[in-house]
Amino acid sequence: MPKAIVFLAQGAEEMEFSITYDVLVRGGVDVTSVYVPGADEPLSPADGLVVASRGVKLGVDTTLEALTKSGHAGDYDAYIIPGGAGGANTLSKDPTVLQILRDSHANGKIVGMICAGSLAALEARVGLGGPITSHPSVKDKLASCTYAHGLDGSSNLLL
């Protein structure tokens, strides 16, 4: 059974996390949500719950600290970064997450970012050789990339 990680940080976009997690599970993928704390946050979220961008509370399966200590961070087939400004900023600044993305990309694994999550692609320097999209609020930060829009002018996942 294929395995995927969907990273999760405070301020992540609810739908980009939950729909991705749900669709992967429905597709037969063993999915693990991995909590990544911000600079001044505890290593585990209070009560095991992350407060997403609209106030919805989301549970986590494990923490980044536990994942890295287990030695199994590279054992997954796909690594997904959801958007949401708060979560995307945390994920795109975490050196451990960025190294996991670089290693996974170098090993031919699926590395995907959604919306503002594209900031992690920029910081990890992965997937930048082709077109990239993002939430319009971070488009200027991706100026060095080949920026692409959806057919309707929207920004969608594309790596």
**3-142: CATH, from 3.40.50.620, 3.50.50.60, 3.40.50.880, 3.40.50.1950:** 3.40.50.880
pTM over 0.75: yes
| Predicted pLDDT at 157 | 40
Residue 55 vs residues 10, 15, 58, 62, 117: alpha-carbon distances, Å = 10, 12, 9, 21, 19
Name the residue ranges covered by the structural domains of the chain: 3-142
User: If we measure between CA atoms, which residue out of 97, 82, 32 comes closest to residue 60?
Assistant: 32
In this prediction, residue 127 carries a pLDDT of 64
Cite the active site residues: 115, 135
pLDDT, residue 85, reads 85
pLDDT under 50: residue ranges of the chain: 151-152, 154-159
Question: What is the number of other CB atoms lying within 10 angstroms of the CB of residue 52?
Answer: 24
Report the C-alpha gap between 118 and 81 in whole angstroms.
8
